[in-house]
């Protein structure tokens, strides 16, 4: 164990060499934390009676100790003003306490290991069922199975299997409460505070991944999953209960619980952030739910919790790459297709597509994410149920073969969505080409549009615009037999955009230029209005067609 940790620490030290040289405190805190973790690993694992439970208790307890260490300067301000001799004495005292603690934990771990005896597999008492010292007797009785409640027994079993998730979440609550303290410590360039913040934030995806993989992974590891398939309970019901409980834990513990803890702790910033950035909060909830579901799918495809946890992020990265490559393929294919085929020769069709573009771009980004993911999630759900019922092969190729259909589905969905968006965007560009070229032609015919009055507007035709400015084929075709009226318009304060070479940048209107309104009446019955500043090449406020 020491060799494994030392090799990982060596790689970390080489990668973060510059940061560690600038902040020696990070060496001290990190080394002390590693020593404490190593010394007490056996003890906490035997207390929890499971690998992940030992991870939860070990990391959680020592994270609390690290929190106390970081908060000492705020609880006892006099510590920051110690003399060099007193500081050296305090460091030696802390090192002595750490070594004594490590020795005690080693002795306790050896003692528990010597007395350890396996009296039952997954059906035996675990940490949550150990008695009233760990859980109140009333709750312990509720977690025991009853012969007349098969569905509730399955739910109780899931709650017991998810015990490391509950433990990690409970132990993380003090860390979430102290997040504002860490932010103040980071302002002082404290390496320990930065490491603590990263550790606290890293617990959140860990909890979501464990919530999805733990229950099914533990049963497959212990071999009891095949036993449960022989129960007089439909496999669909067992799978559905596992999925619902995993998603419940994967959303509540890593997403809702931290927010509620911050709000209950009196941190008004949490409530303000939720109100002002509700879309970001919903995206965070969706991300945790997706991570939990991906972990559950991996647990359905492989044997063991650890293997499932190791597969989660490669699977999500592969699907993300498939989606991003689909967008690139859509751009590469749609540009030559749109340039070769004239989809927008008819103005009514172009106007309808352009209006659809405005409606589509006004939707929240979360809608596009759901449209992209729903087909993939539906297929993955069906696939997970089928994998739940069968014996698995311990082979990476087995997982890759099940992952390929998901990658193809998300590739096709992303390609379709990107191609649809590019089609709408091209129609919008055609409409803006009409507005821009009309604006340029009017400027050529009547520079600055002086002496215009509302009672005597400027009357033009499509032929007049074509003579004054070289129009594109679409604009020339659309403006055939059109009547254009240019009249003074009221000033429009505020930013405006979308002119030539604007690049989407907004410009403040110049008061030295007058505003004018051009009304374009096409032969097909459509009417477009165009507001612009005379004498400004990019002075278009906006154009609307009805």
Per-residue pLDDT of the chain (546 residues; tens, 9 = 90+): 889 888 988 888 888 777 777 766 677 777 887 888 899 989 888 887 767 667 777 877 777 777 666 666 666 666 666 667 766 777 777 778 888 988 999 999 999 888 877 654 444 444 444 443 445 555 666 767 778 778 888 888 888 888 878 877 887 777 777 665 555 555 554 555 565 566 666 778 888 888 898 888 888 887 788 888 888 888 899 999 999 999 999 888 888 887 777 666 555 555 565 555 666 777 778 888 899 999 999 999 998 888 888 899 899 999 999 988 998 898 888 888 877 777 777 777 777 777 777 777 767 777 777 888 899 999 999 999 999 988 887 788 989 999 999 999 999 999 998 888 888 888 878 777 777 777 777 777 765 555 566 666 777 777 877 777 787 877 777 777 778 777 776 655 544 444 443 333 334 444 455 667 777 777 777 777 777 666 555 455 556 666
DSSP state of 264: H
Cβ neighbours for 296, distance < 8 A, ≥ 6 positions apart: 212, 213, 216, 242, 243, 246, 247, 384
Q: How far is CA 506 from CA 436, 495, 499, 517, 538, in A?
A: 16, 6, 9, 20, 10
Q: Please give the full DSSP string across 130-142, using - where no structure is assigned.
A: S-TTTS-HHHHHH
Q: How far is CA 187 from CA 183, 194, 517, in A?
A: 6, 10, 54
| Predicted TM-score (pTM) above 0.75 | no
Domain positions in the chain = 2-228, 447-545
Alpha helices, DSSP H, located in 364-510: 365-388, 396-445, 462-468, 473-478
Cβ neighbours for 132, distance < 8 A, ≥ 6 positions apart: 140
Handedness of CA 174, 180, 183, 184 (dihedral sign): negative
Partners of 530 in beta bridges: 518, 543
Contact 465, 438 (CB under 8 A): yes
Please compute Rg for the chain using Cα positions.
33
**pLDDT at residue 132 in the model:** 38
**pLDDT at residue 502 in the model:** 37
**pLDDT at residue 264 in the model:** 66
d(CA 405, CA 318) in angstroms, rounded, equals: 12
d(CA 318, CA 376) in angstroms, rounded, equals: 13
Cβ neighbours for 440, distance < 8 A, ≥ 6 positions apart: 469, 500, 537
Neighbour order of strands in the sheet with 458-461: 458-461, 483-488, 515-521, 527-533, 540-545
Alpha helices, DSSP H, located in 76-190: 84-115, 137-143, 150-161, 163-177, 179-187
Surface-to-core class of residue 540, CB atoms within 10 Å of its CB (0-12 exposed, 13-18 middle, 19+ buried)? buried
């Amino acid at each position: 164990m020491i060799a494994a940790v030392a090799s990982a620490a060596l790689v970390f030290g080489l990668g973060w060499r510059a940061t560690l040289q600038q902040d020696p405190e990070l060496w001290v805190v990190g080394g002390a934390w590693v020593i404490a973790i190593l010394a007490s690993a056996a003890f906490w694992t035997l207390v929890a009676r499971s690998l992940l439970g030992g991870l939860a208790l070990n990391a959680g307890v020592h994270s609390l100790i690290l929190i106390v260490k970081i908060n000492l300067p705020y609880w006892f301000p006099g510590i920051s003003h110690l003399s060099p001799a007193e500081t050296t004495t305090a460091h030696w005292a802390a090192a002595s306490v750490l070594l004594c603690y490590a020795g005690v934990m080693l002795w306790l771990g050896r003692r528990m290991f010597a007395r350890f005896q396996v009296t039952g597999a997954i059906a035996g008492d675990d940490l949550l069922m150990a008695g009233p010292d760990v859980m109140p007797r009333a709750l312990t009785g509720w977690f025991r199975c009853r012969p007349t409640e098969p569905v509730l027994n399955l739910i109780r079993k899931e709650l017991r299997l998810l015990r490391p998730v509950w433990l990690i979440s409970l132990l993380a609550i003090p860390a979430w409460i102290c997040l504002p303290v860490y932010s103040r410590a980071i302002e002082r360039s404290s390496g320990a505070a930065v490491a603590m913040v990263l550790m606290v934030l890293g617990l959140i995806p860990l909890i979501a991944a464990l919530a999805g993989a733990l229950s099914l992974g533990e049963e497959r590891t212990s071999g009891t999953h095949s036993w449960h398939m022989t129960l007089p309970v439909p496999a669909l019901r067992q799978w559905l209960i596992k999925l619902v409980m995993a998603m419940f834990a994967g959303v509540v513990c890593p997403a809702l619980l931290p927010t509620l803890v911050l709000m209950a702790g009196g941190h008004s910033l949490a409530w303000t952030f939720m109100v002002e950035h509700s879309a970001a909060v919903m995206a965070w909830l969706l991300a945790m739910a997706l991570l939990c579901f991906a972990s559950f799918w991996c647990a359905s495809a492989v044997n063991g919790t650890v293997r499932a946890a190791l597969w989660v992020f490669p699977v999500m990265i592969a699907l993300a790459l498939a989606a991003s490559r689909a967008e690139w393929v859509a751009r590469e294919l749609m540009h030559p297709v749109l340039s070769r085929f004239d989809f927008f020769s008819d103005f009514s069709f172009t106007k309808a597509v352009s209006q659809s573009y405005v409606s589509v771009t006004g939707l929240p980004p979360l809608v596009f994410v759901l449209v992209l993911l729903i087909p993939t999630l539906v297929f993955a759900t069906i696939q997970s149920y089928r994998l739940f019922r069968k014996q698995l092969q311990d082979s990476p190729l087995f997982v890759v073969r099940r992952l390929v259909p998901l990658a193809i589905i998300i590739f096709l969905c992303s390609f379709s969505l990107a191609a649809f968006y590019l089609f709408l965007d091209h129609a919008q560009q055609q409409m803006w080409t009409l507005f821009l070229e009309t604006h340029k032609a009017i400027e050529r015919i009547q520079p600055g549009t002086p002496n215009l009055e509302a009672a005597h507007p400027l009357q033009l035709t499509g032929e007049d615009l074509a003579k004054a400015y070289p129009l594109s084929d679409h604009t020339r075709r659309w403006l055939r037999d059109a009547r254009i009226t240019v009249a003074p318009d009221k000033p429009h304060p505020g930013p405006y955009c979308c002119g030539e070479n604007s690049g989407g940048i907004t410009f403040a209107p110049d008061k030295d230029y007058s505003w004018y309104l051009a009304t374009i009446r096409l032969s097909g019955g459509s009417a477009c209005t165009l507001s612009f500043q005379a004498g400004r090449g990019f002075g278009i406020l906006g154009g609307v067609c009805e």
